[in-house]
Structure 1
C-alpha cells in the first residue's frame, strides 16, 4: 500500500495554523485532551485524537482531514497511540508572554515641552534655511515672539502649545510671510496632538539660531546678514535670474581662468538652444499668420520698446496659445530669450521691439526699401524644415540602429512593390483629423493588416526615425516606402547628369502655360474671397508709371495667396508684360482683366449690356473625363435618374453622413447611400467609378464626392426625360 511521504514543512504549517487559532481565541488544548487520559500517561488513542480535531475544534481551527491525519502520523508512537503532550508543548511553548517584558515607552515623551517631530534629511535642511530666514527677520526688527503666544496661553492653559490658526495669525501679524509649503513644513516639525503647535520649541530654535549668528559674527550692527559672508541667504524677493558673478567665482576657483573654459563649454549649447527656440516661434507665427506686435504693445503704453520681465513673459504666453496650433515654451527657454533681449541699460526690462524684428524676419526683412537688390528667401528653408519636438536627429543616431531602420524600410518597400500593396488607405482610416500622424499601435496594426511582418527591433527603429511629439508621421514613411512616379522615366522628361548623378527635369505641364486656365483660377479666388488685386499692386508703383517690376509683381500676388506655381507666374508676366519695357509688368491691364469677374469696363457706353459675374468652378485635373468615361457616365446617370429626388430622398442619407455639413462625403459613404436606396445594383462598378470621378472634390488630403452636385444633376436629367417628346 502506497503511503504519502510526510514533509516537515507540512507539519510546521499545520502547527502554525493551530498556534494562530490559539493566539486568536485563547484556546486551551489541554482541556480537550486531559479528560481522555485519566491515568495521566500523556498518550491517547488515534481515534480519540482525531475526534478532538474533527469535532468542535475543526470549525475553530479549520483543519482538513488530510492535515489531521498527517498530524496523527507525525506524533504517533510505536504502539499506534498518539503522544498528545508533545503536540501541546510544541504549540504553547512558542507563544510569547508579553507580561514579562518592561514597557518601552512611558508616555512622558509627550510631556516634554521641547518635544518635536522627526523629519527627513532634505526636509531638515529646508527647515534650517527657513528658520534662519525667520531668525534674521526677528533679529533685524528686534521682535519678541514669546508675549504674542503667552497671551493665548493665559486663556487656554495649553501648557506651551497653541492652535494652528492662532500660530498662523501670530506669524501674519508680525509680518513674517511664509509660503504654504513652508508653513506646512513648520507644522510637520512642531505639530503636537494633531491640532496644536509647540511654540516653546519653535521660539527656542529661533533664539538658538540668533545666538549662533551673533557668536560667529555673521550679523552686522543693523541685524542683517553681512554681504561678505560667503553663505549669505538669497532673499526670495530677488528676481530668479542667473548670477554671472557666481559663475565667474566658481570657474576661477576651479579652473583658474574663467574666460578660457566658461565660454567654450557653456555658450555654444546655450546659443544652439536659443536659435532653435527662435525658429520654433517663427514657424508658429508663420503657420498661424500672427502679428507679434499685437501681443506686446498693450503693455508698452509709452511706446518705449521695453517691457518688464513679467509683462514680456505674459506676452509670450499669449503668443503661444494663439492660433490653431499651440506652442509650448518651457521656463528655461523663456529665461534664455529674456537674457538674450535684456535691456543693457536696465537689467529688469526686455527689449521686445528687437525680439519682434527678429521674429518677423520669417516674413520679410526690416527696411527692405533701402536694399532694392537684396534677394530674399522667405520663409527661410531652415524654419520650414525645422523638425518637431520629440523627433531625433537621424544623422546622430547610432549606426547600428540606422542600418536596422534602412533594412526595415527596404523590406517594406520590396513587399509593397512585389505585391502591389497600397498602404495609404489603411493609415488614412486611423487618421481622423487628416494631419498625417497616427499612433504607434495604429502604425503596427496598419502594417499587420497588409501582411507586412517586422520584428520588434525593426518596428522600434522605424518609430525612432518617423516619430515626434504628435505621433508617427506616415506621410514621410509612405514617401520612403511607396514607389514614386519620379523614379520612372517619362518619355518627355529631360535627363541631366551632374557629377555622376542623374537628375530628371520634368516637362512644364500645358495647364501651367494656358493663360485662360490661370485667369480662371485667379478670378475664382477673387470672387470667393472678394479680393481687390489693385490694392496689393499699386503701392509698388511709387512714380505712377502704370508698370512695376516683375519681382514686385510676384511679391504682390504672393500676398494675395493665389497659390500660383512658378511656371504660372512666368506665363502671367509674359502675357501682361509692358510692350516698351519687357522687364516690367502692366499691372493695370492685369487688374482690369481680373475685375471682369465682377463687371465690365466702359459699361456706361453700352447701357443695354447686362454683365454676368464670373462663376467659380471646382473642376480640375482630377475631374477630367475622356470620351469613353463621359459615355460611361452618361449611361450611369440615365439609369440613376429614372426616379426623382422626391421619391428617392437621397439628400437625407447624404446629410446623415456629412457631419460637418460641407457638401461632400467619402466614396465609401457615397457607395453606402446608393446601396440603401437600391441604386448601386443597377449600375456596374465601372460606371460607379466614373460617377465618383466626375463629382470628386479634393478635401484635405483625399478625394470626396460632391453629393449636392450629384443630386442636382439627377434632378436635371429627370426633368429632361420627363418632358422629352417621344
Structure 2
C-alpha cells in the first residue's frame, strides 16, 4: 500500500486521540511488563479498539501492521507508533530542527475538528466574508464562542442551524445569503443540521492574530516635555543601574534573596558568575529592563578574585531600597525617600522626527481640549475595569475614546501615539494618565522633583548614649514598690515579657527593648500604671549592665519584682520550710493617698470624733449608705467627687461641718477621687467571716477516726473477697494486670498500698474499703510492709481461667471456675427450712390447680430485664394472683431471705428462681405451665 495512505491514516488517528486528550503510551504499557517496546498483534488491535475506540477496517489494520509490525517474531513496535502519533521528538537528535518535527493537530477545545469540503468558489467566498468581518470583531471585542455557548448545553461545540443564524454576531452588512454560505462551511458532516461554532471561532481568532502588528522600538534620548520620566538608551554609570534595580524591587515587592539562596547550598553568600546572572535576570531582568551590559556591570562590581560573586551584599543593598536597616531601633530616623516621579512609568523614546510629530499632535489636542473644556481622565478611567487599578487600557479602547471625544487623528499619527505612551512592561496597553497629563494642562497624574531639590541630611546611625539621670529625686524602693503592687494585683509573670528579647539568655537587653517589655506589662501612659520618662531612666540607670553600656540587666529586675510572690530568693522549692510572709505586705496605696501617720494629733482626734458621731447615728437610724454613693458612681469604680461626697452626707442626714468634711476628704482622697468604699468600711464595718478551715479539719479527723464502719454487706474474710473479685472478672472478662502494671514502671512486681487502692478503682470491682484492706494484708510484701505483691494477687485471680506454668505440668487438668449462684448462697436455718418447704408446697398446689402463669406479671415490673423485682413488687404480684392470703408475714420474710439478691446496696427478690421452683413443685413442663 502506498506511503501516502499510511500518512493519511496516521493523521486520522492522531486527530481522534489528541481530540480526546489521550496519552497513547500509557495504554500500551499495561501489556508490556518488561518495557521492551513490543507487544503482540492481538494486543495492539485490542488497545486501538477497546481503549481508544478506533474502528479500522482490515485494509487499514494491515496498512499499520506493514509499517510497525516485525515480520520475524510477529510483534508490533508500539513505541515507534506512539512517537509518530504524539509527534514527540528526541532531545538528543540535534540534526533535525525540533520545530520541523512537531505536528499541529486539528482539534480545538476538546472537539474533533471536522471540515466540510467546499468548492473553490465557495471557499473563496467564505474567506472573503471572514476577512471582511474580522475588523468589526476586533474593534468591538466580540468573542464568537461566548455568543453560542449558551445554546451548547452539552459543551460539544455544536449548535443547530437555526441557533447558528439566531446568535450570529456578524456585522450589519452581512446578507442572509452570506450567512448561509458560512453555515454550509461549518456544518458538521457527521451530524446533519448541526454547525460546529468552535471551528468558526477558531478561524476568526486565527485571522485576528494575523492582523496584530508588531511595533519595532528604537532607542533614542528621552523625551522630557511631558513631565513623565523617559527611558534612556543605556545607563551612564553603575549607580544608574542600581537605581533602576532599586526602583523595580521597590515597585514590585521583590525578595531578591529568594532567587540566589537556592544556588548557595552551604550558605557562604558566594555563588558563581553564571548563577548570579541567572538569578538577577529572573528576579528583575524584565521589571528593570536590564540589558546584558547592565548585568555585567553589576557582576564586575561584586566579583571576587577567584571569579565568584558576593550576592549577599547586593541583596542587602536592594532589600533596603529607600529604607534603613534596623529602623525599629531608631524610630525617629529620617529615611531617604525617592524623588517624586522616580517610581513612575517612563515614556518610550522615539527618534527626533517622530518626537517632533508627537509634540505637534499633542499641542493640537491640548488646544482642542482647552477650548472645549474636556475632562478626559474620567472617560479613560471607565475602561480600566480589570481586577486591579492598572492605569492602562488597550489600543482599541484608546482609539475608541479618541473617536468618542472627536479628537480625530490620522492612522499613522495614532500609531505614533500608541508607541509613545505604550506601557513598557505590558505590551499592547496605553498609559492613559501620562497621555491625559500631556494633553490636559489642568490634570496632574505624575510629578517629578527637579534635580536641584534639597536632600535630607544624613543622620548618624550610631545609637545616642543615654544621659546620666539624677536619681536623688526619684526613690527606687518606692518605684519598685508600685511595680510590685501592679504585678501582684494583675498576677503578671515578669519573665514572659523580656525573655523573647534575650534569645541567648545572657540576662542583658537594650534599653529600648526593656522599655518595650515594661509597656507590654502595662507600665505606660496607655497602661494601668503610668511610668514616666524620668522613672524609666532611673530604673534603667539602677539596673544598667556594667559590661555593656546602654543595656539593662532585666533578670535582676525580674528577681527583685517577683519577690512579691516568693518573698525570698528564687529556688524556693529547695527550701520548703521557709516561712513566707503574706503578700498583702507588698500592697501600696494608690497615688495621691495621704499617709495618715504623719498628720497632727488635732486632725486625728477630729476625724475620730466625727466618725464616732456618724457611726452612732447610722446605727440608730439603720442607714444603708452604700446605695446612695453608688448612684453617683456610674462605672462602679468605688470613687466619687468631693462635692458628691458632701451631697451624700446631706442626703443621709450625716451632718458635718465644713472643717470636718475637709478633714474626711483629706483622709479618704487620692488621685482617683474620694474612696467611699474605704470610708464606708470605717463607718459601717462589715462582719468578717470566721475562718473555719482549721475547725473543719478537726471535725473531719474525728469522723475518720470512728471505730465503726458505715459499710453494708461487706465481706469479712479473704475467700469471700476473692470469690467476689473472681465473679466480677469472669462476668466482665477483664484482665486485672492491665490496671496494675501502669503503676509499676520498673516491673518490680510490687507497689505501695495507696497505689494498689488507686489501681483497683478503674476496674469497677465494687470493693469496699475493708475488703481492700483484707487484700492488702493478705498479699503484703515480706520485705517491705508498706507494699503489696500485686503479681501474686493477679496470679490468684487469673487462676479462674488457667493454671500458671501449665506448660511444665501438662498432665494437670485445669478446673473451670463457675460463678456461684446468689440464691444458692442464701442458707436458711434449721427452723426456717420446714416453714419454707411448707409455704412452697401450698403455693405450688394452688398454681397447679388453676394453671397460673407467674412470669408475665413479674416481667411487667422488671423494666431492665435483670430477673429481679423489689420486695414490695413481689408481694404485689402475689396479691394480684390471689396467693398472698396463703402466706403470712413470717413466711414472706423467709421467702425474701431465700431469694434475696443484692443489686447495689438494695435487697431485691429473684423472681425467676422463685417461679422455676414453683413450676417444678407443680410438675409443669419446663417453662410451659
Q: Identify the TM-score tier after normalising by the shorter chain.
A: 0.3 to 0.5
More helix by share: 1
**Larger Cα Rg: Structure 1 or Structure 2?**
2
